[in-house]
Amino acid sequence: MKKTAPALAILLLSAACASMPMKSADNGGTSGSASAVAKTSMQAQNYILFTSPGQIRSVDDDAIVTGLSLKGTLTNKGFIPAGKVEGRGSLCAEGKDWLSLSDLKVHKASEGSPSGSYVLGCSNANGSFSPASREVVQ
């Protein structure tokens, strides 16, 4: 038992260190759920800018994203959001259109009801999209 105790201690320490995060996130005194969103958002590989919602961009921690955006990851099932709509910009008040996250297309309210993950908002004549809130419907 004495010979295996040091080996067991080293094994336990290495397992504990491996499970600790490499980056720490300061949640600024927010609630636990906001902290979970922040952690998920940090793991996102891509994002959508609502000024051009059909384009997927790669997350670059050194770049500043201006405007409203949504972080997530592009998969074979579409864009999987990793939190809420982020950034600064105007939200539309009467949002009845939606941006489908499965195909990244803006749909008019007259086209029926959304299915799958989507963001409710207003489609604009220039091809951009204005979210009605920061929520993502899943």
Tokens of 65: 């994203």
70-106 b/e with 16+ CB inside 10 Å = b? bbbebeeeebbbbbbbbbeeeebeebebbbbbeebeb
Residue 64: predicted pLDDT: 85
Residue pLDDT tens, the chain, 138 long: 555 555 444 444 444 444 344 433 343 333 444 444 444 445 789 999 999 998 999 998 888 888 999 999 999 989 999 999 999 999 998 889 999 999 999 999 999 888 889 999 999 888 899 999 999 998
Q: Is the dihedral of CA 13, 17, 19, 24 positive or negative?
A: positive
Dig out the tokens for 97 from the structure.
């259109």
Read off the pTM. Answer: 0.67
pLDDT the model gives residue 132: 96
Structural contact between residues 68 and 88, judged by C-beta atoms closer than 8 angstroms: yes
Alpha helix stretches (DSSP H) within 3-134: 4-19, 32-42
